[in-house]
Homo-oligomer: A and B are copies of this chain.
């Protein structure tokens, strides 16, 4: 497995504390030696929660647990581990989540359905609940309001850098913070695109409104990023709202106009984290943004954009710095969405390479090839039919991706 940091990595931001959130990390030895692989967060009473999960038909035991716990709308603890996904582990897997829930409820002084659980790593290996019993009570004794980078590091698997995002924003007169962390590098595709992401705010928002805001926010962020078209059994995004910002008053409607800036800021945090996942795509050396315009609808545009972003031939061309726009035509054509070959235009960056169904008359192979040497590439396809548009992010497909994934378990 590669240990080099992605050339597309961005620095971890300076993340201030969130009132009502305290956490600690611990080394439970689940898979990795000599690193912290468990993240325990405790939330003060009154914290609401929302979540979005993988659409896999074979979800992990922790995903089942969280879906059930979400019904209560209240959160007091979050337990995350890396190294083992507790997925496809049958009855043993369910017993482990139950033990984790009971244990965390005990240390947090709450009900089990106020405990949220996420696991990431190898599928199909039993996850030993005793590993958590050995570290959670001790970790609960030393929870603190930071540093968030420790949490981001504890949840990493094949990630090469910790991922965080933060925003400060006002809800009416109340200033609130939003902090988020994420992990994910492969097995990344809608829906959900992330593997794991946890976002916390000190805003005061009722659980149903929080869920509506979060579900809306994932579409243009985590559901618009793909590394390899593979969808994890474990993908989990949780948003916790502690209501502890000074002066916060409870908002119950997602459409409340006071939430407008908050929603924009949350969307930015989610998009920032999602793009960091693409930046850390396994073996990635280039970040690719795919923009589709002129489709019959936004949904149609998104399917075309994902067809381009998931195409191994487009992604290997990017890796080879080859302005091979013929493969973009291919990917538009295979999407199955309404398209008219003779109205299609394609650009790499600002360089239009194809126009109305054939090579642009002004096409310069040299200019297009020079553009492809950039670390960040924008591919635009204009279908020329109507006003539907979409934007998704992916990375190139390199030999390093094959190396990482051909030798992941060993």
Q: Mark A369-410, 1 if CB is under 8 A from B, else 0.
A: 000000000000000000000000000011101110111111
Is A187 at the interface (CB under 8 A from chain B)?
yes
Kindly state whether residue A216 has any CB partner on chain B within 8 Å: no
- Chain B neighbourhood of A93, CB < 8 A: 358
Distance, CA A58 to CA B308, complexed state (A): 14
Cβ of A55 < 8 Å from any Cβ of B? yes
Contacts A124-B325, A398-B402, A406-B319; A313 near B358 (Cβ below 8 A): no
Within 8 Å by CB of A358, from B89, B336, B407, lies: B89
- Residues in B neighbouring A58, C-beta threshold 8 A: 329-330, 332-333, 339, 341, 344
What is the size, in residues, of chain A's interface with B at 8 Å between Cβ atoms? Answer: 73
- Whether the Cβ atoms of A330 and B55 lie closer than 8 Å is no
The 4 closest A-B pairs by CB, nearest first: A123-B326, A320-B406, A90-B358, A58-B333
Contacts of A316 on B, CB cut-off 8 Å? 401-402, 405-406
List which A146-195 residues lie within 8 A (CB) of chain B.
186-187, 189
Can you list 20 contacts pairing A with B, beta carbon distance less than 8 Å?
A55-B334, A57-B332, A57-B334, A57-B340, A58-B344, A59-B333, A88-B341, A93-B358, A123-B326, A186-B313, A189-B334, A228-B312, A229-B310, A231-B334, A312-B401, A313-B405, A322-B406, A324-B408, A399-B402, A399-B403
Which A residues from 74 to 108 make CB contacts under 8 A with B? 85, 87-93
Q: Which residue in chain B gives the minimum CB-CB distance to A340?
A: B57
In the bound complex, how far is the Cα of B242 from the Cα of A253, in angstroms? 73
Q: Does A221 contact B (CB under 8 A)?
A: no
Q: Known: A57-B337, A57-B341, A337-B57. Is A326-B406 also a contact (CB below 8 A)?
A: no
**Whole-angstrom CA separation of A131 from B360 in the bound complex:** 23
Q: Taking the nearest CB of chain B, how far is it from the CB of A164, in angstroms?
A: 26
A265 contacts partner chain B, Cβ-Cβ < 8 Å: no
Cα–Cα distance between A108 and B313 once the two chains are bound (Å): 38
Query: Is the Cβ of B57 less than 8 Å from the Cβ of A339?
Result: yes
A57 pairs with B338, CB closer than 8 A: yes
A260, CB-defined interface residue at 8 Å: no
Q: Does A125 touch B at the CB level, under 8 Å?
A: yes
Q: Which of A222-237 contact B (CB under 8 A)?
A: 228-233
Extra inter-chain contacts (18) besides given A56-B330, A229-B310, A233-B330, CB under 8 Å: A54-B333, A57-B333, A57-B337, A58-B341, A87-B329, A88-B354, A88-B358, A123-B329, A123-B330, A229-B229, A230-B327, A316-B405, A317-B406, A319-B402, A322-B408, A322-B409, A399-B403, A401-B402
- Does A357 touch B at the CB level, under 8 Å? yes
* A56 surroundings in chain B (CB, below 8 A): 330, 333-334
A344 vs B344: C-alpha distance when bound (angstroms): 44
Q: Are B124 and A90 in contact (CB under 8 A)?
A: no
Q: How far is the CA of A317 from the CA of B186 in the complex (A)?
A: 13
Given the interface pairs A312-B229, A339-B57, the reply to whether A87 lies near B399 with Cβ below 8 Å is no
Task: Return chain B residues, CB-CB under 8 Å to A312.
Answer: 228-230, 312, 397, 401, 405
Chain B residues, CB < 8 A from A398: 402, 406
Q: Is residue A110 within 8 Å, beta carbon to beta carbon, of the partner chain? A: no
Interface string of A47-67 (1 = CB under 8 A from B): 000000011111100000000
A31 adjacent to chain B (CB < 8 Å): no
A409 to B92, CA, bound (A): 52
Pick the contact of A330 from B232, B329, B341 — CB < 8 Å? Answer: B232
291-338 of chain A: CB within 8 A of chain B: 310-313, 316-317, 319-320, 322, 324-327, 329-338
Cβ contacts under 8 Å, A332 to chain B = 57-58
A329 / chain B contacts, CB cutoff of 8 Å: 58, 87-88, 123-124, 233
